[in-house]
Amino acid sequence: MARTVITFGTFDVFHVGHLKVIQRAAELGDRLVVGVSADELNLRKKDREPVFSEAERMAIVAALKPVDEVFLEESLELKRDYILKFSADVLVMGDDWEGRFDEFRDVCEVVYLPRTPAISTTALIEKISSAT
Ligand code: C2G
């Protein structure tokens, strides 16, 4: 039976930390499904508009070799529904989310992977905006 892995993220200003979590997630199964968070959800979650729109962020993630399918993550509260809808066997998140999704262990495996150090969208935005 094919093993489906699901992961979620904003993936704004796509960087190598995003790439690594996606590559490592894909290695845990046969099919990788990625939920890309909606602009609206991002605004609520981080209190700012993403640099790239949800359509652009989805297009970038969908074009990656390890990714089989992308969908728009419209709400953090729908995680269980998404896991069931895509018949995910494993939920993967970076360890900045450690413990936050343990409640889904009744329907799938939950794995937290170590974040790639020293890179983040916020730091990149700051670096770019301070460049002259
Ligand atoms: N990530 C990583 N290393 C970094 C930066 C990010 O491993 N240096 C991982 C995060 O841990 C996450 C994924 O990349 O698993 C996407 O990160 P974000 O775009 O910051 O996603 P986030 O806003 O945390 O959205 O439902 C959950 C949310 O949609 C997650």
- Residue 121 CA to ligand 1 centre (angstroms): 9
Structure confidence at residue 46 (pLDDT): 83
Q: Which atom of ligand 1 is nearest to the CA of 79?
A: 26
In DSSP terms, 73 is beta-bridged to: 37
pLDDT of residue 54: 98
Q: How far apart are CA 127 and CA 123, in angstroms?
A: 6
Q: State the pLDDT at residue 26.
A: 98
The 10 Å CB-count burial string (b at 16+, else e) for 1-30 is eeebbbbbbbbbbbeebbebbbebbbebbe
**C-alpha closest to that of 42 among 119, 122, 100, 114:** 122
Ligand 1 center–CA 2 separation, angstroms: 25
Render pLDDT for 36-51 as a digit per residue (tens, 0 to 9).
Answer: 999 999 998 888 899 9
Q: Which atom of ligand 1 is nearest to the CA of 92?
A: 15
CA of 36, closest atom in ligand 1: 29
d(CA 28, CA 4): 9
pLDDT on residue 98: 96
Predicted TM-score (pTM) of this structure: 0.96
The predicted pLDDT at position 131 comes to 86
Residues of the chain below pLDDT 70: none
